[in-house]
Amino acid sequence: MLTAAAVIVSAVLAWLLSQTRPLQLLRLKTYDLRFVLMGDQEPPPGIMLALIDEATQAAYPEPQIFWHPHYAEMLRAAERGGARAIGLDVSFAIPVDRWEADFDRQMAAAFAEVSATTPVVLAYDTQQ
């Protein structure tokens, strides 16, 4: 009985300590370290990552701010390929209609088309 009580008290104290600000900060600071220590890993089955690497940048010579048609096609291709959700780690901070008249509309159309069946997360900056 005494051992069980000691285990329960220890568990409760450990949980309470883990809720303190210093230990929460320590956990957050070591989060990135855990990924570094795990090393490179393939994504789990069913997850596809479309990355912008040097080969991609070489294939599309225009500045990335004008890649709307490429992103739009990627959204449609991911949907056709059976994607269950799509997220772009790209921010569309300013409208580009001033330089490329139809690009914002193309991106908006692709988003509307694809998001009707597949959740899509894009970043738009509304503070202009």
Question: Is residue 10 scored above 90 in pLDDT?
Answer: yes
Model's pTM, two decimal places?
A: 0.62
Confidence of residue 124 (pLDDT cuts 50, 70, 90): low
Q: For 40-68, how does the pLDDT look when each residue is reduced to its tens digit (9 = 90+)?
A: 888 777 677 778 888 988 898 889 889 99
Looking at residue 72, its pLDDT comes to 93
Q: Which residues of 3-41 are buried (b: 16+ CB within 10 A; e: fewer)?
A: eeeeeeeeeeeeeeeeeeeeeeeeeeeeeeeeeeeeeee
pLDDT value of residue 76: 94
Binned at pLDDT 50, 70 and 90, residue 97 comes out as confident
Q: How many CB atoms lie within 10 A of CB 101?
A: 9
Torsions phi, psi for 84 (to 5 deg): -95, -15
- Give alpha helix (H) positions in the chain: 2-18, 21-38, 54-59, 68-80, 103-115
**pLDDT band at residue 38 under the 50/70/90 scheme:** confident
